[in-house]
Amino acid sequence: MLSTLAADELLVAETFGPTVQGEGPSTGRRAVFIRLMNCNLSCKTCDTPYTWDGTRFDLDAETTVTSIGDLLAWATAQPVDMAVITGGEPLIQQRRLTALARGLADAGLQVEVETNGTIPPTPDLLAWVTRFNVSPKLSTFGAGMPVSRRIKGQVLRQFAVSGQAVFKFVVSTIGDLDEITELVADHELETVYVMPEGRTAAEITRRLGEIADEAIARGFHLTTRLQLLAWGDQRGR
Q: Which residues bind ligand SF4 (CB under 6 A)?
A: 39, 41-43, 46, 48, 87-89, 116, 137
Rounded to whole angstroms, how far apart are CA atoms 95 and 83?
Answer: 18
Q: Tell me if residue 176 falls in helix, strand or coil.
A: helix
Nearest residue (CB) to ligand SF4, 98 versus 118: 118
Q: Provide the minimum distance between the beta carbon of 148 and ligand SF4 in the complex, in angstroms, as a whole number.
A: 15
Q: Provide the minimum distance between the beta carbon of 48 and ligand SF4 in the complex, in angstroms, as a whole number.
A: 5
- Tell me the angle at which helices 94-106 and 68-76 cross, rounded to the nearest 10 degrees: 30
Nearest residue (CB) to ligand SF4, 81 versus 233: 233
Evaluate whether 85 touches 56 at the Cβ level (below 8 Å).
no
Q: Provide the minimum distance between the beta carbon of 77 and ligand SF4 in the complex, in angstroms, as a whole number.
A: 27
Question: Where does residue 140 rank: exposed (0-12), middle (13-18), buried (19+ CB within 10 A)?
Answer: middle
Rounded to whole angstroms, how far apart are CA atoms 61 and 71?
Answer: 19
Q: Provide the minimum distance between the beta carbon of 41 and ligand SF4 in the complex, in angstroms, as a whole number.
A: 4
Nearest residue (CB) to ligand SF4, 9 versus 197: 197
Q: Provide the minimum distance between the beta carbon of 70 and ligand SF4 in the complex, in angstroms, as a whole number.
A: 23
The alpha carbon of residue 158 and the mean position of all alpha carbons in its chain are separated, in whole angstroms, by 17
Nearest residue (CB) to ligand SF4, 66 versus 133: 133
Evaluate whether 81 touches 110 at the Cβ level (below 8 Å).
yes
